[in-house]
Amino acid sequence: MYTIITMKKTPIDNMGQTIRIVLLVALFCLFTNLSAEARSVVYDPQVKTLQMIVNDDWMSLPVMQLGSDDVLNVSFDELSHTYHRYLYRVERCEADWTPSEGLFESDWLSGFSENPIEDYENSLNTTVLYTHYQLQIPNERCQLKMSGNYRLHIVDDEDDHEVLCAEFMVVERLMDVGLGVTTNTDVDVNVSHQQVAMTVNYRSLNVSNPDLQLHTVVMQNGREDTRRLNPKPTFKRHDQMKWEHCRELIFDAGNEYHKFEMLDLSHATMGVDHIVWDGKAYHVFPFVQAPRRNYLYDEDADGAFLIRNSDNYDIERTCDYAWVHFTLSPSEAYADEVVADGRWATAEDAANYQLDYNADTGGYSGAVLLKQGYYNYQFMLRDATGTLRPMPEEGSFFETQNSYQAMVYYREITGRTWRLVGYQQVILK
């Protein structure tokens, strides 16, 4: 005979259970709403050529490692020789790029979150006048103490209007992230797609509920329009998760980027058909692009750009600006807008890079003011909602050499914020 003893819950027990439920619900709400885009934005049309480069690695995303000697270099041009007193303000963000509200500034920053930009110089012997501004993080006034997402606001102190915001990440590698890519998919049997595989090992971090505590992002070529948020893993263990043959991680392979260089505006260089001086400005005409029906390997930088000229000396203030005329000869006219796209174009309004259709020639053309350097670009379609998608003319081939990036964010059950605890990049070769 057994005696069943029923324990009555006390008010303290009920309160503890309620708190746990509230915390879990709050974490679930945060987790399910992680959908905002990470995007640097230039608001002032006089500001051009925003660059975010860590340790001179211009081909990679701006990701710094916490506690290392990594340095983030931020620079931009203002199209005049008039001095502007710019201030930069650092803001920490959550995994969804919303501002961190559950932290004190002293939790993530040592020093001051707002400082003036004191490093600037006027352009030298250029047809387009500009002032080049730059800053570095960390510096003696500003050091970051916590991993995660960060947003840098550049403000004109004269009228307190924001001219741009630039986003970067700080990682503390507390989890091991393995990333691989193959052309073997179950979608089209090696025609136009690529399959990404990923493994995340928790190491010493306590992950009791990965659905609530982990947030994963996978991107192709650092493009926000390709990102996959929280793909469902195919395997879960107490110490790791795996994504193998995961349909959510199958990407359109696309094609190699077009490329051109403006090294010397007195004559055409790589990818340029001809250059014209109209008495006021230089006009650069890359070769007319036509539909690409077959894959042809051409080494590119996966959409990145690099400012430089033939002298390669004091380039930040001696490189000139020129109007670059992009031209596309498509197989048909499109209802959606056609834009030229690359990492150099992500910060400004896409309308600045729009190509107009000419019914007489049956082609698209548009002019963009760009600084001398090496550029990758591709043509995209932009619908009424602002969503970008590749043009059919560009083609999609499994052989394309793309780079893939994976970010893993972690939040303790009772934690106040998301930390970036894993980052990896791989290139299909």
The DSSP line for 216-247 is EEEEETT-GGG-EESPPPSEE-SSEEEESS-G
Contact predicate 407/397, CB 8 Å: no
Q: Say what the pLDDT of residue 189 is.
A: 65
- Domain 176-253+403-427 CATH class label: mainly beta
> CATH 1.10.3470: does it fit domain 258-394?
no
Element (H, E) at 250: strand 250-252
User: Hunting for tokens 């005049």 — which residue is that?
Assistant: 80
Q: Say what the pLDDT of residue 36 is.
A: 52
Contact predicate 77/84, CB 8 Å: no
Element (H, E) at 168: strand 161-171
Q: Say what the pLDDT of residue 24 is.
A: 39
Contact predicate 397/163, CB 8 Å: no
Q: Whole-model pTM?
A: 0.88
Contact predicate 428/407, CB 8 Å: no
| Nearest alpha-carbon partner for 198 in 212, 221, 219, 213 | 219
d(CA 350, CA 352): 5
Q: Say what the pLDDT of residue 18 is.
A: 41
Tell me where in the chain the CATH 2.60.40.10 domain(s) lie: 41-171
Per-residue pLDDT of the chain (429 residues; tens, 9 = 90+): 333 333 334 443 444 444 443 343 344 344 434 445 557 899 999 999 999 999 999 999 999 999 999 999 999 999 999 999 999 999 999 999 999 999 999 999 999 999 999 999 999 999 999 999 999 999 999 999 999 999 999 999 999 999 999 999 999 999 999 999 998 887 776 789 999 999 999 999 999 999 999 999 999 999 998 999 999 999 999 999 999 999 999 999 999 999 999 999 999 999 999 999 999 999 999 999 999 989 999 999 999 999 999 988 899 999 999 999 999 999 889 999 999 999 998 778 778 899 999 988 889 999 999 999 999 999 999 998 888 888 888 999 999 999 999 999 999 998 999 999 999 999 987
- Domain 41-171 CATH class label: mainly beta
Both tokens of 216, joined, read 């994963």
